[in-house]
Structure 1
């Protein structure tokens, strides 16, 4: 910073007391404004990660690094999945996109998320930024999985994971996963595996309902799950309607009598597909009612998911309008998983207008990469900061959990910094909002122990 000291006669540097040129936005005033002097200050700011915003006569306004820095905050990852190293299948480039269709390496290695992961891994592993060398070093380090995962999770300050254990199948032993990650783990109970098991045994309708509700109650009261989740958007979309018990019974009995309960949708007749949609709508609504009884949140998949199984046209969170405005179902604490991406502003509107609608950021973080800042801002246009919850949708590999926290905190910092610069909020509130989104909202909503800061 010697160059900055040499320029002291040329520039007034306005800094809050606890900041330096390395970590703040600053305005530099040149007296007089000369090309040579501007060039010198530009070099100083370039060293600090800065850039020119604009010039106003003799005033050269430049920006250094962001003031808001949430990197030291812990996170509660509100939506993710267990994994084991021995279950890892395929190359890293194939595990960093959401498609179940193999993506040619020409394209998969040129997704920005993949490039970011490789760049950050090179930093952590202390190796050159060459893909072959990074992958070789990763294999070496991952041979000691608990140590490698611990290193990544510690850097990202991952405090608690809320696991959707409905994926992968077959399920991963939770005690084994807990030993591997060495952080706090709680579980979310997914409805669909339970429904599939009941369809396989095909009991009479009354018995199916009894076993369904007993399993949901036991998941919370006996097994400590902190919420429910549905992925009805896969296959049936989010246009969930209230169904009378008699209609659900008739639909179930037709499917059962025809022996098609467990057939894939593509092999069912159009009438059987309609019957299954009727039945699943009924069961999801019963699940929402049970979440109200047990006072736990109900997560529901919205927006992006695994291609080609998700029809984004039917996954817009606005399709949940009938559920959200229902006099009884509207009492549930509904969490819109994945922020409804790409329908992010719609999700923000729902969180603004309906007291019990919350937004989970997972999968949007990290999979839209450099677009995260913009989409977080779109949520903040309307959604209360008390209703937005950090998540990663981490699965299969530890790097998704890690890069989500690292890059997600950076994107959130940048979004909040923009609100500070615009005069919408002050710096103190920006840090408060960061804490709310990264962990405090999850602790409150899911009734978790305090986060170890």
Structure 2
């Protein structure tokens, strides 16, 4: 157990899907709002500290800030204020042991700040819908939009390591898996632009952006499963992507299903049967807290280990970057030690799998070799 724990701790994780940190100070309401996926005000009769994630913050983040484990919310927030946001970020990001971060900039920037606070390489993942919405607000005509979008996508991804779509949020996965026709895209663009190019939710435009991302050839991340309340969870089951995954297979593009809870077993099946499909359980690791080990164990039941990646999906709070790593390391140690102790696995194999999931698979998929700074 100790040798396995030490080996897991030694992995310089590649956090293949994360976001930036909030640069300013937060009051209690602001802090607690980032401990939930809900966008509604927190009722006065409850606190987000009384949640699996809230308990995990008090257990695992408090010692990093110089407090005893399970410090009260008041003590924890007071320590944050005393240390200052820059020091809090520095400590928690360092404690994560992450060696690289791949940042989805669709929520706004974060690359420079995360790189400075962590001292580690940070790479961009470009969100397709954000690019399309920017083009739509630029004064483009419906006829011009397809070419202008592809030009802008090429420009924005020149140094990116991947592309992401949130079609799960905007429509769900029950879309026509084939690329839309040109005339169809122009008609949909005309309606959208006449409405002032709001948040893109038209399934034709979403499919157009998605297939433009496939043609770009970079690894394609797709949010699946649990997330913000503006999605319909039953439409975010990755099994609904089966037709699309078949269409993409000949293109040589890797598809990475993000988070996937509570459909992580379905994602594991897809990773098992499609060579180009990979997945993680990132968001669920933080939000399940003490039960994260069970989610990790379920994610490793079926899929080849070369198809599973680590991510935190941390956004806003550096606590989430740290917790994603801490709960992953703890969970992997517990799951793998059971296999080793039972005689099902050799210790060397368990350590190799931990390195694959924590670092090696992401380095292969995203081309993050030693020469990539």
Normalised to the residue count of structure 1, the TM-score between the two structures is 0.75
Query: Of 157, 162, 170, which aligns to 1:235?
Result: 170
Query: What's the CA shift for 1:138?
Result: 1.6
| Equivalent residue, structure 1, for 2:50 | 110
Query: What's the CA shift for 1:206?
Result: 4.1
Query: Of 78, 89, 95, which aligns to 1:136?
Result: 78
The 5 Å alignment of 1:196-207 reads 196-207=133-144
Query: Of 56, 59, 80, which aligns to 2:18?
Result: 80
| Equivalent residue, structure 1, for 2:131 | 194
Residues 281, 310 of structure 2: 8 Å contact kept = yes
Residues 68, 417 of structure 1: 8 Å contact kept = no
Seen in structure 2, the aligned counterparts of structure 1 residues 120 and 375 have a Cα distance that, compared at 3 Å, is closer
CA–CA distance in structure 1, aligned partners of residues 342 and 273 of structure 2: 24
Structure 1 counterpart SS, 2:24: helix
Residues 68, 431 of structure 1: 8 Å contact kept = no
Residues 163, 188 of structure 1: 8 Å contact kept = yes
Deviates more, 1:78-87 or 1:159-168: 78-87
In the alignment, structure 2 segments of 5+ residues that lack a partner are none
CA–CA distance in structure 2, aligned partners of residues 177 and 373 of structure 1: 27
Residues 289, 329 of structure 1: 8 Å contact kept = no
| Equivalent residue, structure 1, for 2:157 | 220
Is 1:95–2:34 an aligned residue pair? yes
| Equivalent residue, structure 2, for 1:3 | none
CA–CA distance in structure 1, aligned partners of residues 272 and 6 of structure 2: 25
Is 1:278–2:198 an aligned residue pair? no
Higher Cα Rg, which structure: 1
Query: What's the CA shift for 1:264?
Result: 5.7
Q: Deviations over 1:9-33 (max 9, x none)?
A: xxxxxxxxxx7xxx48xxxxxxxxx
Residues 229, 300 of structure 1: 8 Å contact kept = yes
Residues 192, 198 of structure 2: 8 Å contact kept = no
Seen in structure 2, the aligned counterparts of structure 1 residues 369 and 422 have a Cα distance that, compared at 3 Å, is same
| Equivalent residue, structure 2, for 1:360 | 280
Residues 238, 316 of structure 1: 8 Å contact kept = yes
The 5 Å alignment of 1:137-156 reads 137-143=79-85, 145=86, 147-156=87-96
| Equivalent residue, structure 2, for 1:303 | 225
Deviates more, 1:230-239 or 1:277-286: 277-286
Query: Of 385, 392, 414, which aligns to 2:334?
Result: 414
Structure 1 counterpart SS, 2:315: coil
Residues 153, 402 of structure 1: 8 Å contact kept = yes
CA–CA distance in structure 1, aligned partners of residues 248 and 73 of structure 2: 55
Query: What's the CA shift for 1:207?
Result: 2.1
Q: Deviations over 1:24-81 (max 9, x none)?
A: 8xxxxxxxxxxxxxxxxxxxxxxxxxxxxxxxxxxxxxxxxx8676123221111111
Tell me the C-alpha RMSD between the 2 structures. 2.5
In the alignment, structure 1 segments of 5+ residues that lack a partner are 1-18, 25-65, 266-272
Query: What's the CA shift for 1:98?
Result: 1.2
Is 1:312–2:233 an aligned residue pair? yes
Deviates more, 1:91-100 or 1:378-387: 91-100
Across the two proteins, how many residue pairs are aligned to each other? 366
Seen in structure 2, the aligned counterparts of structure 1 residues 94 and 176 have a Cα distance that, compared at 3 Å, is closer
Structure having greater relative contact order (Cα 8 Å, sep ≥ 6): 2
| Equivalent residue, structure 2, for 1:321 | 242
Query: What's the CA shift for 1:175?
Result: 3.1
Query: Of 356, 373, 396, which aligns to 2:293?
Result: 373
Query: What's the CA shift for 1:156?
Result: 2.0
Residues 114, 122 of structure 2: 8 Å contact kept = no
Seen in structure 2, the aligned counterparts of structure 1 residues 230 and 97 have a Cα distance that, compared at 3 Å, is same
CA–CA distance in structure 1, aligned partners of residues 150 and 199 of structure 2: 24
Normalised to the residue count of structure 2, the TM-score between the two structures is 0.90
Deviates more, 1:157-166 or 1:121-130: 121-130
CA–CA distance in structure 2, aligned partners of residues 287 and 87 of structure 1: 36
Structure 2 counterpart SS, 1:161: strand
